Amino acid sequence: MVHPDTELRYISDAIGWGVFATRPIPRGTITWALDALDQKFTPTQAALLPEYARNLLDKYSYIDAAGRYILCWDHARFFNHSCEANCLSVGYDFELAIRDIAAGEERTDDYGTLNPDEPFSCLCAASGCRGAVQPDDMLRLGEIWNVLSRDAFFRIRQVPQPLWHLVPDREIVEAALADPNRLRTIHHHYRRQPIAH
Ligand SMILES: [Zn+2]
């Protein structure tokens, strides 16, 4: 579920829709959490879908560490990619604002953290645009993402968290907040092989 201080806005014919902050969202805020209505499809289940549904699943889902396609039920499925994303995860089923997000600013992810099946060209407007997002970005950029998101993680208790009740495995998150040595890394999300069926 997406943070309540966000809304869907149409950007352009080329980009389509995006998710924008309606109020300032401070660094350390949980901006999305996996919830009970988000749908999970194994590769076998996905392959059995009608073609139109499979195409939509490919467009709007991300892939988790077990190789499942996760289709968010709300406007989370319209998060766009940026090579300088303002939201990342540190290895749990939620994402954090890794810097302050201003009202009116688009909320973005780095699709390199979401196990893309195929490389794709990137035309994001970020000054540090990589030019392409690769399936193995996690292996090359994971440590950078860990550094970017670690500080945000330890601000979880310092900012309002309207999505806290949705966070899966809250006791595991609490343990990491109490002991930094128990903090996961973003590699926790990297798709393991073989892909689950
Ligand atoms: Zn880019």
For 158-174, what is each residue's pLDDT tens digit?
999 999 999 988 999 99
105 burial via Cβ count (<10 Å: 0-12, 13-18, 19+) = middle
At 90 the pLDDT is 86
Q: Which of 71, 82, 77 is nearest to 38 (CA)?
A: 71
C-alpha of residue 169 to centroid of ligand 1, in Å? 32
* pLDDT above 60: residue 80: yes
C-alpha of residue 190 to centroid of ligand 1, in Å? 20
The structure's pTM equals 0.94
At 101 the pLDDT is 98
> Domain boundaries in the chain?
6-38+73-177
C-alpha of residue 15 to centroid of ligand 1, in Å? 13
C-alpha of residue 40 to centroid of ligand 1, in Å? 27
* pLDDT above 60: residue 196: no
pLDDT by residue (tens digit) across 2-51?
Answer: 999 999 999 999 999 999 999 999 999 999 999 999 999 999 999 999 99
At 186 the pLDDT is 92
pLDDT by residue (tens digit) across 45-56?
Answer: 999 999 999 999
C-alpha of residue 197 to centroid of ligand 1, in Å? 32
State the chain's mean pLDDT as an integer. 94
Q: CATH classification of 6-38+73-177 is 3.30.420, yes or no?
A: no
C-alpha of residue 130 to centroid of ligand 1, in Å? 5
